Structure 1
Amino acid sequence: MISVVLLGAGNVATHLYKAFIKSKDVSVSQWYNRNLEPIQTYKNEVEVVDDINKLKKADVYIIAVSDDAISNLSSQLPFENRLVVHTSGSVGIYELDKKNERGVFYPLQTFSKDAEVDFKQVPICIEVIKKTNLKTLKSLSEALGSESHKVNTEQRKALHLAAVFVNNFTNQLYRIAHEITESKGVEFNILKPLILETAKKVQDLSPYMAQTGPAKRNDKKTIRKHLKLLENQHHKDIYELLTTSIQKTHGRKKL
């Protein structure tokens, strides 16, 4: 049984808590946040505290707060020589205070407050300084049903950057598509099977091989029609930028 103390009350901390309490191999000893209100709902399930000096001894302390707050919070911990990890994709492992053993437990997934997360579908990227801590964090991943991946700092930062492209940027493109359909009174829902098929396709094909559309086939006539249809200059700029990117990737001449 791995004992865990959670620090933070955001989306990642909340989803981790919900997953940990379902595991027979993990015990959440405490949940800390400087403001108790966000975690007050769980006070009948786990001990919630807002006093950092009252933290109990545990196998792993998981800091799941905003990137800017990680270093400061780790320096405030009132103990030494215990395993402290953060959950960020972009914060370096050495930004954790060196008075404790340091690690990273990065769940590579998008977390929204009201969306359920199946951790069996969430890869956990693990980074440690002390090799003996690798086993503990791997066991913690297994307790969630997650596949773990040992990475170094540069690899993790690259994954986080790539995740911004496949998740955040893609979601913004969904938003633009929603604006386009909405402006003509057509339902965005009609596009959802296409969204699913696009995601499904790259499970078996490389993104390079899966690419289709007017930019790849250099259909200049259709591209011009699309640009003419776009009324929002910002949307037009994005269309031209992505079209150029696809053309460069697939060796097509620009407009």
Structure 2
Amino acid sequence: MNIVCIGSGNVATHLAIAFKAIGADIVQVWSHDSRNAEILAALTKAEPISNWDHLDRTADCYLIAVKDDAIASVAAHLTDVKGIVVHTSGATSMSVLSGSKNGYGVLYPLQTFSKSKAVDMTQVPLCIEADQEETLERIKAIAQLLSAKVAVVTTSQRSILHLAAVFACNFSNHLYELSSQLLERHHLSFDLLKPLILETAEKVQSATPAEAQTGPAIRNDQETIKKHLNLLEGAPALQKIYETLSNSIKKTHL
């Protein structure tokens, strides 16, 4: 299988390396930044390109892993390619690829990626969608080479998955950052919270989030909540976040 990887960021890097590891031939890596294309191309033994005129149009699959607002402009350069065209976005409609003549779809990895941290792709859910049944079977076959967790989802379902992922990952990570800042102001290390964070994440592997919920809000411990809000007296933005989340927990559980 010959693949052209469009993009050189976190998602592109992990997917390209994973495909290379299973024996796929990454023939080219495109990036608007030629240096970034060269870095990923070196890792996958591909040709780096940054000029669309140099695009190999005979590959089996064109994997678009760029920022959401760039997908449409990239897809406009792929209307006459031989292979199927897929994007990896959780929030972008499949219809943005409708100009592709030989099949198109989505291969959305439901995971957070950083270039510096390895990810076991066999355990990453890959959410797929396609313009027609034949294309879907081709994308499914490609996805199953990478992961044991392949799910066929609609565009609307994928949008909800992406939204839920923002709550579960992006928002929770921001709360880690706020916690880190709070601790730093009081000369405490964020390392002290890491075992707690890990235990919380491990709990929801075997229990529902509702079952795993703890804390003063679920106990309706108003005295503790009041003490916490007093400690945040000089930080009204944090007070508001604390109150909003506490009220949400109480509304959900009490």
Q: TM-score, normalised by structure 1?
A: 0.93
Query: What pairs up with 1:194-209 in 2 under 5 angstroms?
Result: 194-209=196-211
Query: Are the aligned partners of 1:52 and 1:78 in contact in 2 as well (CA < 8 Å)?
Result: no
Instruction: Say which SS state the counterpart of residue 48 (structure 1) adopts.
Output: strand
Query: Aligned pairs, how many?
Result: 249
Instruction: Tell whether 2:37 aligns with 1:39.
Output: yes
Cα deviation 1:24-72 (Å, max 9, x = unaligned) = 2x22121112331112134451111222233221111111111011011
C-alpha separation between the residues in 1 aligned to 2:17 and 2:81? 28
| Structure-2 residue corresponding to 1:107 | 109
Instruction: Say which SS state the counterpart of residue 115 (structure 1) adopts.
Output: coil
CA distance 1:239–1:53, shift in 2 (3 Å): same
| Structure-2 residue corresponding to 1:238 | 241
CA distance 1:42–1:81, shift in 2 (3 Å): closer
C-alpha separation between the residues in 1 aligned to 2:132 and 2:52? 25
Q: TM-score, normalised by structure 2?
A: 0.93
Query: Are the aligned partners of 2:8 and 2:40 in contact in 1 as well (CA < 8 Å)?
Result: no
Cα deviation 1:103-158 (Å, max 9, x = unaligned) = 00101111123222221221100011111122222222222234211000000000
1:228 deviation in Å?
0.6
| Structure-1 residue corresponding to 2:122 | 120
| Structure-2 residue corresponding to 1:3 | 2
Identity of aligned residues (%): 44
| Structure-2 residue corresponding to 1:21 | 20
1:80 deviation in Å?
4.9
For 1:91, the aligned partner's letter is T
| Structure-2 residue corresponding to 1:248 | 251
CA distance 1:7–1:216, shift in 2 (3 Å): same
| Structure-2 residue corresponding to 1:54 | 54
Cα deviation 1:180-230 (Å, max 9, x = unaligned) = 111111111111111011011111111111111110010000000010111
1:81 deviation in Å?
6.1
C-alpha separation between the residues in 2 aligned to 1:78 and 1:94? 13
Query: What pairs up with 1:145-160 in 2 under 5 angstroms?
Result: 145-160=147-162
For 1:114, the aligned partner's letter is S
Structure 1 residue ranges without an equivalent (≥5)? none
| Structure-2 residue corresponding to 1:161 | 163
C-alpha separation between the residues in 2 aligned to 1:146 and 1:185? 44
